[in-house]
């Protein structure tokens, strides 16, 4: 039996459009309605045809929904929830896909005090954005973390778990604040470092931008892929998960200082030990199927 019959997706970018495509592939009898605040995005989504209906207003999109997923930047969650408050069915479950959870829970509870809320975070994505960027297999073999509060009905959590598992995801239940700390180290700070190093290269007066692009080696090239991610989404993630991000940044700064000292004093043993430990992390990621083990990250070479 399907966990939901009528799903509404608010926000039709990479994640929202991928959810719609995945539902259509894995649960073809489920009716999927979408809405986006941008009329141009709504028109493009309608032309692409991955939804059963594209509503002109947020309220109209949720009238008969039994699951509503907010796929907007975390800074816009409160406004998106407020826009559906008057029309949300009393028995609908509201979830989201935001990269920080504590702030989202507060925003959703404020806007929808009577709603059943089960926050979520599919840990999947690409550097691309927009309704054209979505694809049905985005969540296959990836983790979706659900962060229900203590008062969330167990039945609602079970239904949402079944929904994500039907889309091919592995589901984990996690405390919201612990989620924010884990994601700060595995996603948020790495993105901040990528944005920083690419910005530093761009601003370096002694090296021209054309040289940076022309002679881009693998390390810098991979940083630029991360740094090409949606700027609105990442601005909001950092502002809404600032406590955890600043905690991890402080630890990173201390470790970076120790690394500087080792390089300055020619301490090769310290450098070798660090690089050996980090290789083990990479092996673990590959062994769990979270990345490609082929040479050069699976890039095709003619």
> In sequence order, what DSSP letters do the residues of 105-138 get, joined into one string?
HHHHHHH-TTSEE--EEEE---S--SGGG--TTT
Span 95-116, average pLDDT: 95
* 6-174 placed in CATH 3.40.50.720: yes
Domain ranges in the chain with CATH number 3.40.50.720: 6-174
Q: What is the pTM of this model?
A: 0.83
Looking at beta carbons, which pairs linking 296-300 to residues 24 or more positions away fall under 8 Å? 296/218, 297/222
Q: Of the segments 123-137, 147-161, 211-225, which one has the largest average pLDDT value? A: 147-161
Domain ranges in the chain with CATH number 1.10.3660.10: 178-266
Span 271-289, average pLDDT: 78
| Residue predicted with more confidence, 285 or 153 | 153
| Residue predicted with more confidence, 286 or 188 | 188
Flag whether pLDDT at 228 surpasses 90: no
Kindly report the CATH class assigned to 178-266: mainly alpha
Read off the pLDDT band of 286 (50, 70, 90). low
| Residue predicted with more confidence, 28 or 280 | 28
Read off the pLDDT band of 218 (50, 70, 90). low
Task: Please state which of the ranges 10-24, 266-280, 282-296 shows the lowest mean pLDDT.
Answer: 282-296
d(CA 90, CA 66): 9
State the pLDDT at residue 184. 92
| Residue predicted with more confidence, 166 or 225 | 166
| Residue predicted with more confidence, 201 or 29 | 29
Read off the pLDDT band of 301 (50, 70, 90). very low
Closest CA to 140 of 296, 8, 249, 19: 19
User: In this structure, what token pair is assigned to residue 254?
Assistant: 């201390």
d(CA 123, CA 220): 23
CA trace torsion 240, 135, 120, 29 (10° rounding): 140
d(CA 243, CA 89): 34
Flag whether pLDDT at 298 surpasses 60: no
Beta-ladder partners of 70: 10, 96
| 45-65 as b/e: b if 16+ CB within 10 A | beebebbeebbeebeebbeeb
State the pLDDT at residue 278. 81
Beta-ladder partners of 117: 94
d(CA 214, CA 208): 10
Read off the pLDDT band of 172 (50, 70, 90). very high
State the pLDDT at residue 294. 56
Read off the pLDDT band of 222 (50, 70, 90). confident
pLDDT averaged over the chain?
Answer: 89
Main-chain dihedrals φ then ψ at residue 93, nearest 5 degrees: -100, 135
Q: Of the segments 79-93, 198-212, 218-232, which one has the largest average pLDDT value? A: 79-93
Flag whether pLDDT at 3 surpasses 60: yes
**Tens of pLDDT along 26-68?**
999 999 999 999 999 999 999 999 999 999 999 999 999 999 9
State the pLDDT at residue 129. 86
Read off the pLDDT band of 302 (50, 70, 90). very low
């Amino acid at each position: 039996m399907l966990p939901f019959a009528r799903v509404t997706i608010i926000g039709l970018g990479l994640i929202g459009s991928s959810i719609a495509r995945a539902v259509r592939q894995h649960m073809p009898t489920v009716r999927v309605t979408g809405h986006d605040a941008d009329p141009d995005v709504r028109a493009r989504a309608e032309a692409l045809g991955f939804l059963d209906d594209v509503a002109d207003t947020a309220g109209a999109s949720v009238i008969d929904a039994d699951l509503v997923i907010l796929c907007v930047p975390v800074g816009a969650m409160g406004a998106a929830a407020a826009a559906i408050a008057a029309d949300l069915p009393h028995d609908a479950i509201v979830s989201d896909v935001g990269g920080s959870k504590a702030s989202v829970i507060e925003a959703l509870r404020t806007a929808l005090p009577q709603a059943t809320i089960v926050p979520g975070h599919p840990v999947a994505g690409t550097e691309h954005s927009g309704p054209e960027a979505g694809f049905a297999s985005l969540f296959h073999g990836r983790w979706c973390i659900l962060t229900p509060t203590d008062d969330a009905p167990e039945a609602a959590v079970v239904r949402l778990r079944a929904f994500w598992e039907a889309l091919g995801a592995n589901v984990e239940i996690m405390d919201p604040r612990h989620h924010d700390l884990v994601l700060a180290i595995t996603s948020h700070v790495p993105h901040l470092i990528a944005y920083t190093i690419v910005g530093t290269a761009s601003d370096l007066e002694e090296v021209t931008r054309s040289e940076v692009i022309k002679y881009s080696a693998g390390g810098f090239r991979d940083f630029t892929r991360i740094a090409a991610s949606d700027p609105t989404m990442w601005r909001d993630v950092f502002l809404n998960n600032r406590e955890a991000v600043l905690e991890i940044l402080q630890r990173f700064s201390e470790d970076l200082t120790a690394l500087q000292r080792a390089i300055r004093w020619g301490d090769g043993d310290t450098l070798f030990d660090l690089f050996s430990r980090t290789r083990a992390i990479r092996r673990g990621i590959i062994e769990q199927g979270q990345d490609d083990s082929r040479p050069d990250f699976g890039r095709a070479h003619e």
